[in-house]
Amino acid sequence: MSIELANESGVDAPAELIIGAARFAVAAMDVNPAAELSLLLVDEDTMADMHVQWMDLPGPTDVMSFPMDELVPGGRPDAAEPGPAILGDIVICPEFAKRQAKEARRSYDHELAMLTIHGVLHLLGYDHAEPDEEKEMFGLQNSLLEDFYAERHRIAQAQRQSDRDTKLLTNIGFSDVAPVDAGPEATGPTQPPSEDE
C-alpha cells in the first residue's frame, strides 16, 4: 500500500498515526495492497475554499475525500483479482480537527485517526446522507477505530516486551556473567585471599 502524506497546514500532526490509521482501514476493508492513497493536511482557508468549490458549502470542514478509481471492498469470491488502483485523496484540516476534538472532549490524535478512517470509508463509497447510511458508516468507522487501537496496543506491548528482553539479555550477557572458560585469575582479586576466605 502506497500512502503519501503532505502537511501543508502549518500545524503539527502525527504523520505516523495518520498513515497508520489509513493503512489499517484500507487493509481491513480488503483493498488491494498495491493501491495508492494520498493524504493532504491543509489550513482552514484552503479547506474553506475546497469546501465551497466541491461541496458548495461555506466555511472549513474537518475532512474531505476525493475518490479516483471505483473500488468495492471485499468483492465477490469468484471475481477476478482486482489490480492496483488509486483510491484517491483525503484532505484533513488539523486546525479544525483540533478545535472539534476539544469541543467533543477527545484527544487531537484520536480526532485525526477517526477523520482518516472516515475519509477512507468515503473513498470506498460509504456515505452518511441518509439515516441508514449514517448508521452503517459510523458503525463501521467506530469498529475500525477500535480495532486500530487494539492493534496499536498489541504492537506497543510486544515492543515493550522485546525491549525488556533485550535489556535483560544484554545485562546478563555482557555485564554480570564472566566468560565460561575464565578462571579465577581472569576475574578474581589481584591479591591472594586471606585465611578467612
CA distance to 6, 13, 30, 80, per residue, from 74 (Å) = 29, 31, 5, 12
Does the annotation place 118 within a ligand binding site? yes
Query: How far is the C-alpha of 57 from the C-alpha of 62, rounded, in Å?
Result: 13
3-state DSSP helix/strand/coil % of the chain, to nearest 5:
50, 10, 35
Residue 19 neighbours by CB distance under 10 Å: 17
| Greatest alpha-carbon span in the chain | 96
The residue behind cell 463501521 is: 140
Q: What is the DSSP string of 100-162?
A: HHHHHT--HHHHHHHHHHHHHHHHTT---SSHHHHHHHHHHHHHHHHHHHHHHHHHHHHHHHH
The residue behind cell 476539544 is: 102
38: DSSP letter: E
Query: How far is the C-alpha of 93 from the C-alpha of 52, rounded, in Å?
Result: 15
Does the annotation place 110 within a ligand binding site? no
Task: Show binding-site residues.
Answer: 118, 122, 128
Task: Show binding-site residues for Zn(2+).
Answer: 118, 122, 128
